A and B are shown apart, each in its own frame.
Chain A
Amino acid sequence: MESLRRIRILIWKELLAILKDKRSRFTVFVPPLIQTLVFGYAATYDLERVHYAVYDEDRSEASRQLLARFDGSGVFVRMADLTNEKGIAPLIDSKQVLLVVRIKDDFERTLLSGQTAAVQVLADGRNSNTAATALNYINTIVETFNADWTTAHNGQSPPLLPIPRAWYNPNLETRWYMIPGMIAMLTLVQMIVITSMSVAREREQGTLDQLLVTPFRPFEIMVGKSLPSILIGLIQTTGVLAIALLWFNIPFQGNPATLYFGIMLFLLASVGFGLMISSVSDTMQQALLGGFLSIMPFAMLSGLNTPISNMPKSIQYVTYLNPMRYAISLTHRVFLEGASLRDILPDLWPMAIIAAISLTVAASMFRRHVA
């Protein structure tokens, strides 16, 4: 009982330390929300507009038909019509256009004779991902052109009619993927940074020593440091969730309680890592470095930025140790797929184990290095 009272006092003190100062209060709550908003708009692999130039040597009915589809796509913006090959390089080099579409002078003839006519596309590969996306758009346009051309020229539709559908995200919007992932991402960053920095600050300022000569036991100090971070983490989660639902209108398919349960486990695991870092750092600078060195691999090996199945096999095994991997998976499953507690069990039990280990290790490190 006495212990509980002491912990309550510590929590109160800790919350005051973070929330009393106006600027610190601001930095805890406003940046995460700004991040989510910016992220929602900027973090997309889709291209809204592609500047391109045309070098049409054929100037035929067929080439015009094809080019009209580019201009009518709403994505491709024609910046220039070239009349010679020399004009291509300066346009691409200076980034005035992302790509140049070149149609050779035998285009229509080849097409009408029933052969395959080539359209040359020269793309700026400085960001190869952008180039790949733009080429994808072009392929789609050309495919529909082909289909229509076939229909128009022998009245026969293609034998296969693929009917594409995307589940859980019918319009394949990157945002639907990124924003729920943001919940896990922010939780991780804030838990590690706030927890490790708050211990390091006390140590740097010498107030940790003062705490240690009071009747507080190391365990109580540890709990007193973790619970406020967890509380702040839950508030941030709710903020991001609110933006996702109310601002971006991403449909929430699952049960909020399930999501909070999973996030709670993840919070525990992350706080453990934050405490571990704080145990070994003497200054706030060291805590921040430790935070970076752990946040980066957790984030990059989580599958949010690049799918885990793309990674080399050996690294795929490493990701099983990463709590963030399970957090990303479960937020997506609950949020977009409407998964139940039972569905996300494969994500929950590894995370529970990781949380248990990280908190135990943190407790023992904390006792050894701090007390």
Chain B
Amino acid sequence: MENRPAAAKPRDHRPPLGTGGRISPARVRSLIHKEMLQIVRDPSSIAIALVLPLFLIALFGYALSLDVKDVPVAIVMEQIGPDATDLAGAFALSKYFTPTVVTSMKEAVDLMRAHKVDGVVRIRGSFGRDLAEGDAPLQVIVHGVDANRGRIMQGYVQGALAIWASQRGRPERPGATADNPPPLVGSVQVQSRVWFNNAMESHYFLVPGLVVLIMTLTGALLTALVMAREWERGTLEALFVTPVRTGEILIGKTVPYFFLGMGGLLLTTLAGRFLFEVPLRGSVLVLTAGSALYLFVALGFGLFISSATRNQFVASQLALLATFLPAVFLSGFIFDLAGAPKAVRVISCIFPARYYVSFLQTVFLAGNVWSIIIPNCAALGAMALFFFGLTLRKTKKKLA
């Protein structure tokens, strides 16, 4: 174990009690047994590891969807004409829109202000005439508060208009006759194929993201609380007067929560596989190994902040701030880091979640791509060593 050098370094001319000697399997076993009893006796630990994942899966799986459909829009028809009716009909047929036809802009604005519609397409009274002249302006307004949705809506409206225009065919140019048809003009069409997730299922990236959240909660938050509680209640001091060594205490704390975390991983993966049909294209072994590394980082960090703060309230707030929030916002799990400014991207490098998200998305959806797996795992391994070393130093057997 890498804790020996730190533990053997005497602060005094004489090594403090309990720091010498080897790690005793019997002592570690009884510490783990004690920890397990505590976990079993406070059902909330098991709940954090097992109930919370299921609950989050249900929420993510059934309630979260970033797809936009059935957008209520107001179609303002200032004057009823064949072209305007035809265009309004195109919106009614689209699966993306639920149109409401009104006859004045004022009505549409009122609907928009009351949040009854999210967009307005204004067809002017002169629409039919303008169209015949080949130049019909069309006002398209979207409710922009939810910017992402607004942008997607704009795209859909433009798409619907483009389809309508192409189906209707080009108006005849002035001077064009049957003998002298307007020239055909080519256009470019995008054919897209989305690899690893051709149907663009948002579950495909939400489930790997969920694994990160759950591992972070069990690893960092739960451990931080548990260890801080021992400091707060003085039970750690009670342990110090026994022959137990620091390294043994840390192992005793780590092992049970490690298995709780891995249980959460198993649950989430199974649920993702069987409830939401998220594929696991990489190998189970790689997934387990990489996840174990991340869990060690999270556990190490959790133990570190609890030893540094020795206060449950502060430890839990810090754990939330330094692990859970970065796992949500700075990991690329929902919000892609490519959208963030450079400074934020650089900051994100110090949080382990970023490497784990990249690792998981690849292992789940792309397979064993070693050029992604190896650097990310290396980063996680280095962080795990760092935090355990730091914790070992902080958890010296002293009272102040």
Interface residues of A (CB under 8 A from B): 21, 23-24, 27-28, 31, 34-35, 38-39, 41-50, 66, 90, 92-95, 98, 110-133, 135-136, 138-140, 142-143, 145-146, 149-150, 153-154, 156-170, 172-177, 193, 197, 201, 205, 281, 283-286, 288-289, 292-293, 296-297, 300-301, 305-307, 309-312, 315, 329, 332, 336-337, 343
List residues of chain A with CB within 8 A of the CB of B55: 293, 296
Q: Mark B330-372, 1 if CB is under 8 A from A, else 0.
A: 1010111111110110011000000000100110011001011
With A50-B338, A159-B136 in contact, do A31 and B321 touch (Cβ < 8 Å)? yes
CB atoms of A160 and B136 under 8 A apart: yes
Given known pairs A38-B330, A126-B196, A150-B187, the reply for A300 and B59 (CB within 8 Å) is yes
Residue from A127, A145, A332 within 8 A of B188 (CB atoms):
A145
* Interchain CA distance A154-B56 in the complex, whole Å: 57
Whole-angstrom CA separation of A23 from B148 in the bound complex:
38
User: For residue A110, which residues in chain B have a CB less than 8 angstroms away from its CB?
Assistant: 186
CB distance from A2 to the nearest CB of B (A): 31
Q: Closest CB of chain A to B287's CB: distance in Å?
A: 15
**Which one of B2-10, B19-27, B154-162, B267-275 is at the interface?**
B154-162
B113 to chain A, nearest CB (A): 7
Q: Kindly specify which of B74-82, B199-207, B238-246, B255-263 makes contact with the partner chain.
A: B199-207
Q: Does residue B129 face the partner (Cβ distance < 8 Å to A)? A: no
* Contacts A159-B170, A162-B138, A286-B42 supplied; 18 other A-B pairs, CB < 8 Å: A21-B311, A21-B314, A34-B321, A42-B335, A110-B186, A114-B184, A121-B191, A125-B194, A126-B204, A128-B194, A136-B152, A138-B192, A139-B190, A150-B185, A154-B183, A157-B134, A164-B157, A166-B154
Give A286 to B316 CA distance when docked, in angstroms.
Answer: 12
In the complex, 30 of the A-B residue pairs with CB atoms within 8 angstroms, ordered by the A residue number, are A23-B309, A24-B313, A41-B343, A45-B148, A93-B369, A116-B188, A118-B189, A126-B196, A126-B197, A126-B366, A127-B336, A138-B190, A149-B187, A156-B173, A160-B165, A161-B137, A163-B139, A165-B142, A167-B112, A170-B144, A172-B151, A197-B312, A197-B313, A286-B42, A293-B52, A306-B64, A307-B146, A309-B71, A310-B68, A315-B62
By beta carbon, the residue of chain B nearest A107 is: B188
The CA of A98 and the CA of B338, in the complex, are separated in Å by 10
Question: A135 vs B193: C-alpha distance in the bound complex, in angstroms?
Answer: 10
Tell me the minimal C-beta distance from A245 to chain B in angstroms.
17
Q: Are B64 and A305 in contact (CB under 8 A)?
A: yes
Check if A163 sits within 8 Å of B138, measured CB to CB: yes
Interface centre among B188, B362, B369 (most CB of A within 10 A): B188
- Inter-chain contact A159/B68, CB cutoff 8 Å: no
Q: Say yes or no: A154 contacts B136, CB within 8 Å.
A: no
Shortest C-beta distance, A18 to chain B (Å), equals: 9
Q: Which 7 A-B pairs have the closest CB atoms?
A: A114-B184, A166-B144, A125-B197, A169-B144, A125-B194, A111-B186, A27-B317
In the bound complex, what is the Cα–Cα distance between A135 and B162 (angstroms)? 17
Chain A residue at minimum C-beta to C-beta distance from B333: A127
Q: Which of B307-324 contact A (CB under 8 A)?
A: 309, 311-314, 316-318, 320-321
Taking a contact as CB atoms under 8 Å apart, the answer to whether A128 and B200 are in contact is yes
Centre residue among A114, A121, A124, A332 by max chain B CB count within 10 A: A124
**Distance from A53 Cβ to chain B, minimum over Cβ atoms (Å):** 13
Tell me the smallest distance from the CB of B240 to a CB of chain A, in Å.
21
Give Cα distance in the complex from A276 to B45, angstroms: 20
Chain A binder among B221-229, B288-296, B377-385: B221-229
Residues of chain B contacted by A135 (CB below 8 angstroms): 190, 192, 194
0/1 interface trace, chain B 231-242, chain A, CB 8 Å (1 if under) = 010000000000
Given A94-B371, A177-B145, also A159-B171 (CB < 8 A): yes
CB–CB B340/A41 < 8 A: yes
- Whether B193 lies near A126 (C-beta < 8 A) is no
List of A residues within 8 angstroms of B371 by Cβ: 90, 93-94
Complex Cα distance, B317 from A24, in Å, reads: 9
Question: A119-B189, A125-B195, A125-B204 known; A159 and B321 CB under 8 Å?
Answer: no
A117 to B188, CA, bound (A): 5
Contacts A27-B317, A160-B161, A166-B144: A116 and B334 contacting too (C-beta < 8 A)?
no
A114 engages B185 (CB within 8 Å)? yes
Bound Cα distance from A322 to B138, whole angstroms: 39
A193 to B319, CA, bound (A): 13
Query: Which of A38, A288, A307 is in CB contact (< 8 Å) with B329?
Result: A38
B400 within 8 A of A: no
Q: Which A residues lie within 8 Å of B393 (CB)?
A: none
B186 with A124: CB separation less than 8 A = no
Pair A284/B136 contact, Cβ less than 8 Å: no
Inter-subunit contact A43/B329 (CB<8 Å): yes
Least Cβ–Cβ distance between B235 and chain A, in angstroms: 13
A311 pairs with B338, CB closer than 8 A: no
In this complex, what residue of B is CB-closest to A96? Answer: B371
Partner among B112, B144, B226, B361 whose Cβ is within 8 Å of the Cβ of A127: B361
Contact B362 A126 (CB under 8 A): yes
- In this complex, what residue of A is CB-closest to B367? A93
Cα distance A118–B191 in the bound complex, in angstroms: 6
What chain A residues lie within 8 Å of B329 (beta carbons)? 38-39, 42-43
Question: If the complex has contacts A38-B330, A47-B339, A126-B205, are A310 and B65 also in contact, measured as CB distance less than 8 A?
Answer: yes
In the complex, what residues of A have CB within 8 A of residue B131's CB?
159-160
- Checking B60, B198, B312, B335 against A125 with a beta-carbon cut-off of 8 angstroms, the contacting residue is B198
B111 at the interface (CB under 8 A from A): no
